[in-house]
Structure 1
Amino acid sequence: MLIEWLLIPFAYLLGSVSSAVIVSRALGLPDPRQEGSKNPGATNVLRLGGKQAAILTLLGDASKGLVPLLIAKSVGASPPLMAAVGFAAFVGHLYPVFFQFKGGKGVATALGVLLGFAWPVGVMALLTWLGVAALFRFSSLAALAAAVLAPVYVWFWLGSAELVVSTMFMSTLLVYRHKSNIERLLKGEETRLGARRP
């Protein structure tokens, strides 16, 4: 039982690994913490280095949320432990111990967590993001829409109070981390997908 609960610190430490920084260094790109939006996430890497770098960052960040939950499932983790592991991975991305607790906004890692809870939940969240992004061309707006609906998807597919609460906490933090984006959206100043930040 104790070994199972060690998955929580493991998930946090894995979440603390910055895919954006690693990919950017490997490809000789600018540090995403210093350039563009200064957010170490896939959207900023897309603007700074193109689609290949962004895809690698996205996969890396999503894996940080998915892998700990796959391990948890393999050892028969209970819903409360699953909820804690997923949330720990997400918080690790937002507040990474390896990078002075200054991380990304958590969209891709949250997607990985949702896929770990149940793949249909993750697919629904991804389709929500893709649909809103295709209609409005704002990554931040798409992320906010997916975040708001994610707890509904979890409840519909899983009906677990613990997983719903964990998802609600993730969604709340995700919205909070997008507060500057929300301000720019309201002012009509948000950068659209595919455009470089001035």
Structure 2
Amino acid sequence: MDAIPHIAAAVVGYLLGSLPFGWFVARCNGVNIFEVGSRNPGATNVKRCVGKGAGNLVFALDCLKGVVATLWIRWLPATAESAPAADPVVLGLIGFAAAMLGHVFPLFTRFRGGKGVATMLGGTVALMPLAALVGAVVWLALFYGTRYVSVASMGLAVSLPVSVFFLHQVDARFWFASLLAAFVVYRHRENVARLVRGTENRFEKTRADGNGGSAR
């Protein structure tokens, strides 16, 4: 019985993460997001290929997935019989990790997903709000300084374990944030290769292209 909350957090988190908001919003606008731009169903590609409003909506919804997947189990009414015995932080991290996997490898679009930055930010807001605030500042500074969404996204991810180290005790959140940073950087490996070659596109105006920035 003690494993049930952990299993529930993982299953619900994965299903929430799998919700294909990028594909759905683009489809509602008559666009198959898997056939345009970077062919990635993330907020950046939707913004480039569909429009600013659609891209911002996808970003907000993907971010919300991370928040809900991390916190939903805490919102259940607690009783002496049903209250989870597990640490709520651990349950939140399980839901968070599952949502990230669901977003990157979504069940509903044949495991073709985004890079997880918006969902990562949502889960971080839920579990590590101060680190999320620092990460948002880092993202804005790097984006407006370079106009590369990929650079800003990787900078946000890498800032998380550093912020958690200085803002919290070195507990499960620090190690999770470190793994998360490595995972996000790995998901951006093609962007890194384009940056090295000097072929990565800066984010300027909404347009469809094949080498777009980070598709969240």
**Fold-level similarity (TM above 0.5):** yes
The answer as to whether partners of 2:104 and 2:116 remain within 8 angstroms in 1 is yes
Q: Which of the residues 94, 110, 114 maps onto 2:120?
A: 110
Closer/same/farther in 2, CA of residues 72 and 157 from structure 1, 3 Å limit: farther
The match for 2:14 is 12
- Report the alpha carbon displacement of residue 119 of structure 1 after superposing the two structures with TM: 2.0
CA offsets 1:10-36 (integer angstroms, 9 cap, x no match): 0011001111001111222x2222210
CA distance in 2, matches of 1:171, 1:110: 10
> Are 2:147 and 1:137 aligned?
yes
* Structure 1 contact 150–171 (Cα < 8 Å) conserved: yes
* Superposition deviation, residue 85 in structure 1: 1.4
Identity of aligned residues (%): 34
RMSD: 1.7
Q: How many residues align?
A: 197
How far 1:160 sits from its partner (Å)?
Answer: 4.7
Q: What 5-or-longer segments of structure 1 have no aligned partner?
A: none
- Name the counterpart of 1:125: 135
| Corresponding position of 2:190 | 180
Q: CA contact under 8 A between 2:134 and 2:159: conserved in structure 1?
A: no
> What is the TM-score when the length of structure 1 is the normalising length?
0.92
Q: Contact conserved, 2:63 with 2:123, CA < 8 A, in 1?
A: yes
- Quick check: which one's helix share is greater? 1
Tell me which residue corresponds to 2:213: none
Q: Which residue of 2 aligns with 1:74?
A: 75
Q: Is the 8 A contact 1:90 1:109 kept in 2?
A: yes
Q: Deviations over 1:53-102 (max 9, x none)?
A: 01100011101101122223435753222221111111110111111111
Kindly name which structure, 1 or 2, has the bigger radius of gyration based on alpha carbons.
2
Q: How far apart, in 1, do the equivalents of 2:176 and 2:63 lie?
A: 17
Instruction: Please list every run of 5 or more consecutive structure 2 residues that lacks an aligned counterpart in the other structure.
Output: 77-83, 211-216
Output the CA distance in 1 between the equivalents of 2:169 and 2:71.
19
Which 4+ residue blocks in structure 1 deviate beyond 6 angstroms? none
User: Given the two structures, how large is their TM-score scaled by the length of structure 2?
Assistant: 0.85
